[in-house]
């Protein structure tokens, strides 16, 4: 029997920090799993190195479900981003190995293709409305059929979601948390107007998305959703803090704007009521933060039962290993909705050689066995870890707000 011989925790920072788990079997097969938790990277590295790696050595790499249950139930301390990201890394690496051993891409192991490619949405943003419109034009020219739009809010420095000009939005820019300002009033006045400007200029022939990033109360979110109904958004994302599942009932009672939630939720228990009570339209849980391919598929199957579609998180702080795993899952599940595609810093491709390709608004995996990503140790060594934090938001009176 093949056994797990080695499990290495690899940390690199090719423009931003990534933690990767590489498992090697006694037959010399390797598998990769993303273990990146933005701003708290080293806690997952330690969870893996200090607590999970010793449990993996000697185990049968083929027993993916059993390993998942062993790590989840065996910890006693359940759920939470650190635990679920660490378990995800192990799970993803084992699926990669299973694919390589079988000589099949992972999506074949998940039941095969349900579609030809994976519809993605890209990020458009700008310091003001003309800059946003230029960015939307650029993405439409690149063939994107779905675009998320954000701009700075006048009078509120450091608005969420606006890239610095290089095309890739990266919130974790500083070695201590940056403080950003927030005004609900200014946002609610401004956001509907620029979303309307996008529709006025580019029409309705593509999907328009918007991320509220947990900033509103339920009744404010209801008002926002109702205000933008004529713009027919694909979704409004994270209108209120996601941990309060009950809040979505109130939003739902007032607006037909579709709702997407789940990028910072980590288990099926955290989305149970959102799904079974049909309080959302899209579930945004991901491979890396929600327990790997095994657990994500369980969430997506529950969602399928209740008419909720998938819309996985895919920001740049999720490594190309997660991106590849997401594309394999997205290709296979019946209730796929859309996949976020934010892109990575240029040096990321030096470290992670990924077979995933973009064409005409869609991502495609290759037919390589496993996930189709290789890790270059030499390149990784050129980019040592640097502490980076996500920002903190304060209201104009100085009190801390949800970021
Ligand atoms: C998104 C997200 C990101 C997160 C980031 C946190 O929709 O892509 O909201 O921008 O803020 O991934 O690490
Ligand atoms: Mg988001």
Both tokens of 304, joined, read 């399928």
- Better pLDDT: 169 or 352: 352
Binding pocket residue ranges, ligand 1, CB within 6 Å: 38, 171, 211, 213, 263, 313, 315, 317, 340, 390
Provide the pLDDT confidence category of residue 304 given band limits of 50, 70 and 90. Answer: very high
Tens-digit pLDDT profile for residues 254-296: 999 999 999 999 999 999 999 999 999 999 999 999 999 999 9
Dist CA 112 CA 91 (whole Å): 19
Provide the pLDDT confidence category of residue 166 given band limits of 50, 70 and 90. Answer: low
Tens-digit pLDDT profile for residues 221-262: 999 999 999 999 999 999 999 999 999 999 999 999 999 999
Contact 150, 161 (CB under 8 A): yes
Contact 161, 123 (CB under 8 A): yes
Provide the pLDDT confidence category of residue 170 given band limits of 50, 70 and 90. Answer: confident
Region of residue 64 (phi > 0: left; psi between -120 and 50: alpha; otherwise: beta)? alpha
Mean pLDDT across the chain, nearest whole number? 97
Query: What spacing in Å lies between the alpha carbon of 204 and ligand 1's midpoint?
Result: 26
| Set 18, 121, 160, 187: catalytic member | 160
Q: Looking at residue 335, what is its pLDDT?
A: 98
Distances in Å between the Cα of 164 and the Cα atoms of 18, 131, 167, 194, 345 are 21, 11, 7, 19, 13
Provide the pLDDT confidence category of residue 167 given band limits of 50, 70 and 90. Answer: low
Both tokens of 166, joined, read 């290089």
| Set 163, 213, 313, 341: catalytic member | 213
Query: What spacing in Å lies between the alpha carbon of 211 and ligand 1's midpoint?
Result: 9
Which residue lies with its CA nearest to atom 1 of ligand 1? 315
- Given a cut of 80, whether residue 298 has pLDDT beyond it is yes
Q: CB within 8 A of 316, min separation 6: which ones?
A: 16, 168, 169, 170, 342, 343, 344, 345, 348
Dist CA 106 CA 370 (whole Å): 5
pLDDT average, residue stretch 115-131:
97
Q: What is the DSSP letter of 247?
A: H
The atom number, within ligand 1, closest to the CA of 314 reads 8
pLDDT average, residue stretch 375-387:
98
Annotation says 213 is catalytic: yes
**Spelled out in words, what is the top-level CATH class assigned to the domain 4-104?**
alpha beta
Would you say the C-alpha torsion 138, 140, 142, 145 has a positive or negative sign? Answer: positive
Q: CB within 8 A of 151, min separation 6: which ones?
A: 125, 126, 127, 128, 129, 131, 132, 159, 162, 190, 194
- Given a cut of 90, whether residue 164 has pLDDT beyond it is no
Q: CB within 8 A of 30, min separation 6: which ones?
A: 22, 23, 24, 96, 97, 100
Tens-digit pLDDT profile for residues 313-336: 999 999 999 999 999 999 999 999
- Given a cut of 90, whether residue 69 has pLDDT beyond it is yes
pLDDT average, residue stretch 124-150:
97
ipTM confidence score: 0.99
Q: What is the DSSP letter of 155?
A: T
Query: What spacing in Å lies between the alpha carbon of 56 and ligand 1's midpoint?
Result: 31
Dist CA 231 CA 316 (whole Å): 28
Q: Looking at residue 157, what is its pLDDT?
A: 86
**What percent of the chain shows pLDDT beyond 90?**
96
Instruction: Give me the architecture of the 109-368 domain, per CATH.
Output: Alpha-Beta Barrel (3.20)
Enumerate long-range contacts of 129-132, CB under 8 Å, 24 or more apart: 129/193, 129/194, 129/197, 132/194, 132/197, 132/198
Query: What spacing in Å lies between the alpha carbon of 7 and ligand 1's midpoint?
Result: 28
- Ordered by start, the domain boundaries in the chain are 4-104, 109-368
Annotation says 160 is catalytic: yes
Model pTM score: 0.97
Per DSSP bridges, beta strands 357-359 and 352-354 are: unpaired
Q: Looking at residue 320, what is its pLDDT?
A: 98
Which residue lies with its CA nearest to atom 2 of ligand 1? 315
pLDDT average, residue stretch 372-391:
98
Q: What is the DSSP letter of 110?
A: T
- Given a cut of 80, whether residue 86 has pLDDT beyond it is yes
Backbone angles phi and psi of 183, in degrees to 5: -135, 115
CATH topology agreement for domains 4-104 and 109-368: no
Return the best residue to mutate from 158, 161, 162, 318 for the ligand 1 pocket (most ligand atoms within 8 A of CB): 161
- Given a cut of 80, whether residue 66 has pLDDT beyond it is yes
């Amino acid at each position: 029997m093949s056994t797990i011989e080695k499990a290495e925790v690899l940390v690199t920072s090719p423009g931003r920090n990534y933690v990767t788990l590489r498992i090697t079997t006694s037959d010399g097969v390797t598998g990769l799993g993303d273990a990146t938790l933005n701003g708290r990277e080293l806690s997952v590295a330690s969870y893996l190195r200090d607590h999970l790696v010793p449990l993996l050595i000697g185990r049968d790499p083929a027993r993916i479900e059993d390993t998942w249950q062993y790590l989840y139930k065996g910890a006693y301390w359940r759920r939470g981003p650190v635990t679920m990201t660490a378990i995800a890394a192990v799970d993803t690496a084992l699926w990669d190995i299973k694919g390589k051993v079988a000589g099949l891409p992972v999506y074949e192991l998940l039941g095969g293709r349900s579609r030809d490619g994976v519809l993605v949405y890209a990020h458009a943003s700008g310091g003001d409305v003309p800059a946003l419109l230029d960015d939307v034009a650029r993405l439409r020219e690149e063939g994107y059929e779905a675009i998320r739009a954000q701009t700075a809010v006048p009078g509120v420095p450091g608005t969420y979601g606006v890239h610095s000009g290089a095309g890739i939005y990266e919130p974790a820019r500083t070695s201590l948390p940056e403080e950003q300002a927030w005004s609900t009033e200014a946002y609610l006045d401004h956001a509907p107007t620029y979303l309307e400007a996008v529709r006025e200029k580019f029409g309705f022939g593509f999907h328009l998305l918007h991320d509220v990033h947990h900033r509103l109360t339920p009744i404010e979110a209801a008002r926002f959703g109702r205000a933008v109904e004529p713009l027919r958004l694909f979704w409004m994302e994270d209108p209120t803090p996601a941990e309060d599942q009950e809040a979505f009932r109130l939003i739902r009672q007032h607006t037909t704007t579709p709702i997407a939630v789940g990028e910072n939720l980590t288990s099926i228990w955290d989305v149970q009521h959102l799904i079974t009570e049909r309080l959302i339209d899209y579930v945004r849980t991901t491979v890396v933060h929600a327990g790997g391919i095994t657990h994500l598929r369980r969430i997506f199957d529950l969602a399928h039962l209740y008419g909720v579609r998938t819309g996985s998180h895919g920001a740049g702080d999720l490594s190309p290993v997660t991106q590849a795993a997401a594309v394999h899952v997205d290709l296979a599940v019946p209730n796929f909705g859309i996949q976020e595609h934010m892109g990575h810093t240029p040096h990321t491709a030096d470290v992670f050689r990924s077979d995933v390709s973009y064409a005409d608004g869609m991502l495609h995996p290759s037919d390589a066995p496993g996930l189709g990503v290789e890790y270059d140790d030499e390149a990784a060594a050129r980019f040592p870890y640097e502490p980076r934090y996500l920002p903190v938001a304060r209201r104009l009176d100085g009190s801390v707000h949800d970021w």
